[in-house]
Amino acid sequence: MSLTSSTETTPSARTVASTQSEMTEIILPNDANILGNLLGGRLMHFIDLTAGIAAYRHSRTYVVTAAMDHIDFIQPVQVGSLLTLKSSVNRAFTTSMEVGVKAWAENPLFGKPVHVASAYLVFVAVDRDGQRIRVPRLLPETADEQRRYADALLRREHREAESVRRKQGRIAAAAQEDAAAANL
Cα–Cα distance measured from residue 181 to residue 20, given in angstroms and rounded to the nearest whole number: 54
Q: Give the pLDDT confidence score for residue 7 in this predicted structure.
A: 45
Query: Are the CB atoms for 118 and 103 separated by under 8 Å?
Result: yes
Task: Give the separation between CA 89 and CA 111, rounded to whole angstroms.
Answer: 28
Q: What average pLDDT is seen over the chain?
A: 92
CB 141 within 8 A of CB 15: yes
Residue 87 · residue 53 · CB < 8 Å: yes
Confidence of residue 138 (pLDDT cuts 50, 70, 90): very high
Alpha-carbon dihedral 154, 157, 158, 159, rounded to 10 degrees: 120
Residue type present at position 127 = D
> For residue range 110-129, what is the model confidence (pLDDT) as tens digits?
889 999 999 999 999 999 99
pLDDT band at 3 (very low <50, low <70, confident <90, very high): low
Burial class (CB in 10 A: 0-12, 13-18, 19+), 78: middle
Indicate if the pLDDT at residue 167 is higher than 50: yes
pLDDT higher than 80, residue 87: yes
Name the band, by pLDDT with cuts 50, 70 and 90, for residue 94: very high
For residue 4, pLDDT beyond 90? no
**Domains within the chain, CATH numbers bracketed:** 13-182 (3.10.129.10)
Q: Check residue 6 and give its pLDDT.
A: 43
Query: Is residue 162 predicted with pLDDT exceeding 70?
Result: yes
On the question of pLDDT at 8 being above 80, the answer is: no
What is the CA angle 134-138-139, rounded to 5? 150
Is the pLDDT at 48 greater than 90? The verdict is yes
The predicted pLDDT at position 82 comes to 97
The DSSP code for 37 is B
pTM for this one? 0.86
What pLDDT is stored for residue 142 in this prediction? 97
Q: Looking at residue 1, what is its pLDDT?
A: 45
- Helix (H) or strand (E) holding 166, with range, is helix 143-182
Residue 111: predicted pLDDT? 83
* DSSP 3-state of 7: coil
